[in-house]
Structure 1
Amino acid sequence: MLALVLPLLAGCATLDRDANADGIAGPVGLKRMIVKTDPFVLTTFARIRDPGQPVTVYIEGDGLAWLSRSEVSLDPTPREAMGLALAAADPSPNVVYLARPCQFTARAKNPTCGIPYWTGKRFAPEVIAAMGQAVDQVAAQVPGQKINLVGYSGGGAVAVLVAAGRKDVASIRTVAGNLDHAEVNRLAKVSPLSGSLNTIDVAPQVAKIPQIHFSGAVDTTVPPVIAERFRQAAGSSCVVVRTVPGASHETGWRERWRELLREVPGCV
């Protein structure tokens, strides 16, 4: 059995994924940079225009983890980079996009990278620690300001896991977020992610952080029941779930994102 859910299967392999990302980021002033963490080198796109205001950090999904249901990808860099597209649609002055480990960064610069880090260990403790270090570096650019975290798909899991270890997170938003990979994989009848932390286990730790979890009404990869399970596990009025009509796992988000951003997380 496979060791993960397959949110993105391969399509045309000829797309220049780096050029596609640059084409999304460049027109809105998001500049490509490299962030060194332990043990990964991460690619980011950032726009910091006002250090006196909070920063919103977008975390990418799982990317091109598999070429087919039986063949793993040798490069998890996403074809369409939905997390980056959402970041590009955000008009806020301070926006930073974090690619996941091993995405967009040449293997020669990232020798730690290996297939386990985009399959069974995609949410491993060392992955979450590295993403947390990257957020530390982002926070240093806006001293004293709060962090808003946004995660797409598996990036939603990372956002919550990172938030569980921080004191400066003002809000969390997830889009089609995999907030319980054990249940997602059970529903898909595939093997569990061995070596990965499960986001739902930290729901009580982040329960007081205002958050909205958006699910697509026709998402069959991470169905809306997953966000609802997370809300119940958190047991907090700060955790809100929204089901977006017509949205699937990969469609219906970028064109609506500015509108959805108007929904401000809060505690009732």
Structure 2
Amino acid sequence: MQMLQVNKSTILLFSVILSSLVSGCSTLNPSPISPQTHTVIEQAERQGFVPALYDTSLVTYAVWEKNKQKTNRTATETKQNNQNQNIQDIHVYIEGDGNSWKTRYQVSDNPTPKNPLSLKLAMQDTHKNVIYLARTCQYHFDKEKCKSRYWSDARYSEEVIQSTNEILNQIKTRHPQARFLLIGFSGGGNIAALLSARRNDISGLITIAGNLDHDALNEYHRVSPMRDSLNAIHYATELKNIPQKHYAGSKDKIVPAWLAAKYKQALNSPCVAIEAIKDNTHHKGWEEQWPQFLKEALPCQQNNATKIS
């Protein structure tokens, strides 16, 4: 398993380039993307986000990375810089479920998000190391490996969490002393929490409209339970001591604010904070307020040493 960096390109060519880079992935085909998503990715790349591929035991994931360091360095300067980078948090933004369903009853054939909110938030993060992590089979598609269950009933399955965890392990090979601040939007919040529950290098966990109890949420929406998926709220013991904050929109009808409150009650820990943001919906309001949220410290952080920004 290895990280494969993609040279500068437009997203329209992204999948073609991936095909030539990933050995054994001759079935890798482009995933159509909406004009809005294409525009956001172009903006991100202009800001210094570099597209990359991470090969895992499940599928190959699309990732964009921003690392604010000078490129013209001597070997000594580069070594020193890497040492300095190692002791800093790496902010990892995990995308939501994306375009997972065509209708209430029909699974989508392309889970790539039409509104990549996590990427939009990542673009506002001024931290030195910022990574945007797409979900399973978003932005590119391997016909042999990309099964629709991985963005429907099994979107939070053990295979999905394990493969995402492998990406963090690969990143750690370049930053062995670094810790991760995981930031997840919607279903990406459940992924972030499940990753936090199994790692010992998590400095903090933040969710935005996070689906922290998909059993309760699916019951609320009167849809079938995801029996093949893991559920963050079931890992209260592993999660309760991790500094974390969960933002919910007071007008969010997709992931209502009461879900975060239910999660906080289950963990029953001073390290868990929630905040219902007035007038925010599932998608609206977060971009405008995110810079301010980035300035806030998480509960239980020693001397508030690890602020988000």
Work out whether the TM-score is over 0.5: yes
Could you report, residue by residue, the CA deviation over 1:50-88 in whole angstroms, capped at 9, with x for unpaired residues?
Answer: 524221001000000112223221000001111111111
Corresponding position of 1:42: 61
* Mapped contact 1:204–1:233 kept (Cα < 8 A): no
5+ unaligned residues in a row in structure 1: which ranges? 1-12
From 222, 236, 248, the equivalent of 1:203 is: 236
Number of aligned residue pairs: give it: 254
Could you report, residue by residue, the CA deviation over 1:224-257 in whole angstroms, capped at 9, with x for unpaired residues?
Answer: 1111111111111000001111111111111111
Corresponding position of 2:10: none
* Secondary structure of 2:235's aligned partner: helix
- Looking at secondary structure, tell me which structure has more helix per residue: 2
- Distance in 1, matches of 2:33 and 2:66, equals 29
Paired residue type of 2:214: H
Q: Displaced runs of 4+ in structure 1, greater than 6 A?
A: none
Corresponding position of 1:106: 141
From 197, 217, 232, the equivalent of 1:164 is: 197
Paired residue type of 2:118: G
* Secondary structure of 2:140's aligned partner: coil
Paired residue type of 1:153: S
**Greater RCO (Cα-Cα under 8 Å, separation 6 or more):** 1
The structural deviation recorded for 1:20 is 3.1
| Counterpart mapping for 1:242-253 below 5 A | 242-253=275-286
1:178 paired to 2:196: no
| Counterpart mapping for 1:45-64 below 5 A | 45-49=64-68, 51-52=85-86, 53-64=88-99
Corresponding position of 2:107: 72
CA RMSD of aligned residues (A): 1.6
Q: What's the TM-score, normalizing by structure 1?
A: 0.90
- Distance in 2, matches of 1:164 and 1:263, equals 23
- Distance in 2, matches of 1:68 and 1:49, equals 41
- Distance in 2, matches of 1:235 and 1:193, equals 25
Paired residue type of 1:42: Y
Q: Please say which of residues 157-166 and 137-146 is displaced more in the overlay.
A: 137-146
| Counterpart mapping for 1:227-242 below 5 A | 227-242=260-275
Corresponding position of 2:176: 143
Paired residue type of 1:98: L
1:84 paired to 2:119: yes
The structural deviation recorded for 1:113 is 0.9
Corresponding position of 1:22: 41
Could you report, residue by residue, the CA deviation over 1:122-154 in whole angstroms, capped at 9, with x for unpaired residues?
Answer: 000000001111111222232202110000000
Corresponding position of 1:118: 151
Could you report, residue by residue, the CA deviation over 1:97-126 in whole angstroms, capped at 9, with x for unpaired residues?
Answer: 110011012325xx3111111110000000
Paired residue type of 1:104: Y
Paired residue type of 2:259: I
- Distance in 2, matches of 1:208 and 1:18, equals 36
The structural deviation recorded for 1:49 is 2.6
5+ unaligned residues in a row in structure 2: which ranges? 1-31, 70-84, 302-309
Q: Report percent identity of matched pairs.
A: 35
Could you report, residue by residue, the CA deviation over 1:208-236 in whole angstroms, capped at 9, with x for unpaired residues?
Answer: 11000000010011111111111111111
Paired residue type of 1:177: G
* Secondary structure of 1:140's aligned partner: helix
- Distance in 2, matches of 1:23 and 1:114, equals 28
Q: What's the TM-score, normalizing by structure 2?
A: 0.79
Paired residue type of 2:66: R
* Mapped contact 1:64–1:78 kept (Cα < 8 A): yes
- Distance in 1, matches of 2:34 and 2:188, equals 22
1:93 paired to 2:112: no
